[in-house]
Amino acid sequence: KGKCVKYGEDRFQVEIGYNAELIAVFKKIPSKSYDPAMKKWNFSLEDYSGFMEAANQLSSVILAPLEGENAVCLASGSHFVGSRVDVKSLLKMCQNWKKPSALVKGKCVLISRLRFEVDIGYSAEVIGVFKQMESRNYDMNTRKWNFLLLDYPKLMEALQSLVSVEVEPLPKAVIQTFAAQIQRSTSQTDIPDADLSAVDSKIVMSLMPFQREGVNFAILRNGRLLLADDMGLGKTIQAICIAAYYRKEWPLLVVTPSSVRFTWAEAFHRWLPSLSPGSTNVIVTGKDNLTASLINIVSFDLLSKMDKQLKSTFQVVIIDESHFLKNIKTARCRAAMPLLKAARRVILLSGTPAMSRPAELYTQIAAVQPAFFPQFHSFGLRYCDARKMPWGWDYSGSSNLTELKILLEESIMIRRLKSDVLSQLPAKQRKMVVVAPEGISAKTKAVLAAEAKKMAKGYESKQQEKEALLLFYSRTAEAKIHSVVEYILELLESGNDKFLVFAHHKIVLDAIVAELEKRHVEYIRIDGSTPSAERQSLCQKFQFSEKQVVAVLSLTAANMGLTLSAADLVVFAELFWNPGVLIQAEDRAHRIGQTSSVNVHYLVAKGTADDYLWPVIQEKIKVLGEAGLSETNFSKTAESTNYHPKPDPKQKTIYDLFQRTFSESRDDTDEVLLLEAADACSEFDSGSALQDTGGETCSVSPPKKRRIE
């Protein structure tokens, strides 16, 4: 960035940092002169317009024009020339832009913080308009024209005057957020340091530089943001610091997954020593008082049961793992949204902001910035590739992801990946371990093959499909037990002192624990039945023990909120269809405090449900990576992941079945019930089940519904 300034009577000087492309432009100008004392170039005013035109062609350079000179030569009569651009008139353009009779249709899309492109079919008159723009640039790769946001008002005005051309403008939210760039004042890139003198010095001194930036960002945005840092980068400490800045507005409400409620209470006292001992109130039952203390910590599910108490509003609210609010239809989301709309400060924390698709980001954006997209439908059309189907609209796709990412990062979201900030943290190294098929008995193989054959034929109802898949999944768990236990014993023998083992089915967890007890190996076990209050002490035991310890963990109960960085090896005994859950589980070890490289081993058994789950997981991770929402690309970082099932049409059917059943957006409670069903399936006597290939012994509706907290 630089500017032109007057230099004597008839010359001007360019004040700018070094840029090779720009120097090349300087050298072509006849009146050039270099002042070695000032280290700046100056030119005759006669060359000014030619120079500005050449400089504006360079995408890496932004030059402020000479004051008093009208740098823009445009058709007279445009009400955008020379005057400051009126944002209201730009927002008006967002309304009636459709021209049903238009022959050429296109749209404007943001491609960086300063430039936008026009995606449109060929038309000579459109190209004519493009060529009048000083900042025009034609991208040979995408075959599209792009321009500086400065040129947006006059370009849109010119295009809207063409009768046969329809161009969809940038969304309102983009125009409001980037008004400064459109109005040719340079945008602010450095976030000013917030005054944290009123906050406990202990927490302020403990912030790493990037965490301090996160706090500054939040305060600049008036305490409303989505803090989407990667897992293990200390979102909790940043959130506590931001909340402490607004301490005068407390009582504070913290909504978290139930397993980490006590961890939060501990963190508040640790980082804010000035708090009196009784100032945190962890809600344990629906009868507790939600406003009893200065800091009130409640789980998502209890929040939805306590709506009677929600009459009193909180001014400051922290939502941990805010992707839990992705589905507007769930009770937890309906309970939380009014609270967030009423609060002055909303701090959302999520390491995986869109678990699989942009539609799931909508509620989080609406919670922080309700004015951005008042209607979900307009958001869906722009970013979810919304399509009209016979049964209604389908919002499960994704479109214009780059624009969405730039918009969020400029307005409400701050997201740093581990690779950006933790130079001391080595990357994870994944490998896929294909476990020995010898471990699976011939009988079990026959059962799995029969199951697969049945599935390939297809089912009448979705319910039957799901039940069959879950049965297949739990049969896979049984089939793998032998090989999994063997693998763990090998690891122990080869001198691995501390590692994490994740599994999903109770029978797998039980089998691992039984074997460890038999060998007198110390272990900790955290699954759905471990009380929240005990989890922290189990983690401490694992972290600080000198001896050999194995952490045996449930994939769905222990995949978030726990720090087990004393381990640098994570073993997945079973796969899971949601990659977000797997990555969160890996990150129990891959956190701040981890000094060595974390190895992740996925145990995959051929001839089982893993054949279909592994490709499904890889596919989903790829989609997340394209949106910039996951730095983790399984295929690139895993050894030997070129493991794909044989392209056999029968297998293709089952793969599609998995893909379809577990990619549909559905209520979270469904997922919990599915998991319970899977557990119920896995608790039957494996002997009897294997004799009965029909699978009637497994009742898929669990005998009694476990209380979901």
Low-confidence winner among 70-84, 470-484, 559-573 (lowest mean pLDDT): 70-84
Higher pLDDT among residues 354 and 645, named by residue: 354
pLDDT of residue 44: 86
Q: Quote the distance between the C-alpha of residue 693 and its chain's center.
A: 42
Q: Report the distance separating Cα 565 and Cα 542, nearest Å.
A: 9
Query: Are 216 and 119 part of one and the same domain?
Result: no
Query: Are 498 and 596 part of one and the same domain?
Result: yes
pLDDT of residue 231: 61
Name the token pair of 240: 């506590």
Share of the chain above pLDDT 90, in %: 25
Strand partners, 58: none
User: How many CB atoms sit inside 10 A of residue 287's CB?
Assistant: 9
Query: Are 468 and 416 part of one and the same domain?
Result: no
Q: Which of the listed residues 369, 394, 421 is the one where a domain comes to its end?
A: 421
Cβ atoms of 296 and 290 closer than 8 Å? yes
Name the token pair of 546: 């000198």
Does residue 697 lie within any of the structural domains?
Answer: no
Q: Report the distance separating Cα 520 and Cα 523, nearest Å.
A: 9
Give per-residue pLDDT as tens, 589-635: 877 776 666 778 888 887 788 887 888 777 776 776 666 665 555 54
Report the largest interatomic distance among the alpha carbons of the chain, rounded to a whole angstrom: 99
Does residue 75 lie within any of the structural domains?
Answer: no
Give per-residue pLDDT as tens, 634-661: 544 444 444 444 455 556 666 677 766 6
Entry field: residues in the chain? 709
Provide the domain count of the chain. 4
Query: Are 528 and 462 part of one and the same domain?
Result: yes
Does residue 368 lie within any of the structural domains?
Answer: yes
Give per-residue pLDDT as tens, 48-57: 878 887 887 7
DSSP state of 399: -
Mean pLDDT of 296-317: 84
Q: Which residues contact 117 (CB under 8 A, 6 or more apart)?
A: 108, 109, 111, 139, 142, 144, 145, 146, 147
Does residue 315 lie within any of the structural domains?
Answer: yes
Does residue 70 lie within any of the structural domains?
Answer: no
Give per-residue pLDDT as tens, 578-592: 888 888 888 888 777
Exposed/middle/buried for residue 312 (C-beta within 10 Å: 0-12, 13-18, 19+): exposed
Q: Which of the listed residues 421, 443, 458 is the one where a domain comes to its end?
A: 421
Name the token pair of 329: 């239809």
Angle 688-693-699 from CA coordinates, rounded to 5°: 65
Dihedral angle of Cα 513, 518, 523, 526, to the nearest 10 degrees: 20
Cβ atoms of 47 and 29 closer than 8 Å? yes
User: How many CB atoms sit inside 10 A of residue 23's CB?
Assistant: 11
Query: Are 544 and 458 part of one and the same domain?
Result: yes
Give per-residue pLDDT as tens, 212-254: 999 999 999 999 999 998 766 788 999 999 999 999 998 999 9
Query: Are 573 and 686 part of one and the same domain?
Result: yes
Q: Report the distance separating Cα 406 and Cα 173, nearest Å.
A: 12
Mean pLDDT of 185-197: 74
Query: Are 415 and 445 part of one and the same domain?
Result: no
Mean pLDDT of 7-36: 86
Query: Are 414 and 444 part of one and the same domain?
Result: no
Query: Are 388 and 468 part of one and the same domain?
Result: no
Query: What CATH number does residue 221 fall under?
Result: 3.40.50.10810
Domain that holds residue 169: 87-182
Q: Which of the listed residues 390, 421, 452 is the one where a domain comes to its end?
A: 421
Low-confidence winner among 86-95, 134-143, 695-704 (lowest mean pLDDT): 695-704
In the numeric block, the tokens 């793969």 are attached to 655
DSSP 289-324: -TTSSSEEEEEHHHHHHTGGGGGSPPSEEEETTGGG
Query: Are 603 and 633 part of one and the same domain?
Result: yes
Average pLDDT, the chain: 79
- 3-class secondary structure, 501: strand
Mean pLDDT of 344-360: 82
State yes or no: pLDDT of 325 exceeds 80.
yes
Q: Report the distance separating Cα 43 and Cα 101, nearest Å.
A: 50
Q: Report the distance separating Cα 159 and Cα 285, nearest Å.
A: 61
Low-confidence winner among 52-56, 107-111, 491-495, 571-575 (lowest mean pLDDT): 491-495
Query: Are 375 and 398 part of one and the same domain?
Result: yes
Residue 467: how many CA atoms within 13 Å on its side-chain side?
A: 15
Mean pLDDT of 457-464: 72
Low-confidence winner among 78-92, 143-157, 568-582 (lowest mean pLDDT): 78-92
Q: Quote the distance between the C-alpha of residue 292 and its chain's center.
A: 34
Helices (H) and strands (E) in the chain, counts: 27, 26
Does residue 392 lie within any of the structural domains?
Answer: yes
Does residue 81 lie within any of the structural domains?
Answer: no
Query: What CATH number does residue 441 fall under?
Result: 3.40.50.300
pLDDT of residue 275: 92
Does residue 481 lie within any of the structural domains?
Answer: yes
Q: Report the distance separating Cα 59 and Cα 129, nearest Å.
A: 19
The helix or strand, by DSSP H or E, that contains position 532, with its residue range, turns out to be: helix 532-544
The region, left, alpha or beta by phi > 0 then psi within -120 to 50, assigned to residue 317 is beta
Among residues 503, 465, 521, 421, the alpha carbon closest in space to that of 214 is found at 421
- C-alpha dist (Å) from residue 601 to 170, 184, 591: 45, 52, 17
Angle 594-598-603 from CA coordinates, rounded to 5°: 145
Cβ atoms of 231 and 240 closer than 8 Å? no
Query: What CATH number does residue 17 fall under?
Result: 3.40.1170.30
State yes or no: pLDDT of 313 exceeds 70.
yes
In the numeric block, the tokens 């029969």 are attached to 450
> What is the radius of gyration, based on Cα positions, of the chain?
29
Query: Are 402 and 436 part of one and the same domain?
Result: no
Exposed/middle/buried for residue 289 (C-beta within 10 Å: 0-12, 13-18, 19+): exposed
Name the token pair of 314: 């909180």
The region, left, alpha or beta by phi > 0 then psi within -120 to 50, assigned to residue 436 is beta
Residue 66: how many CA atoms within 13 Å on its side-chain side?
A: 21
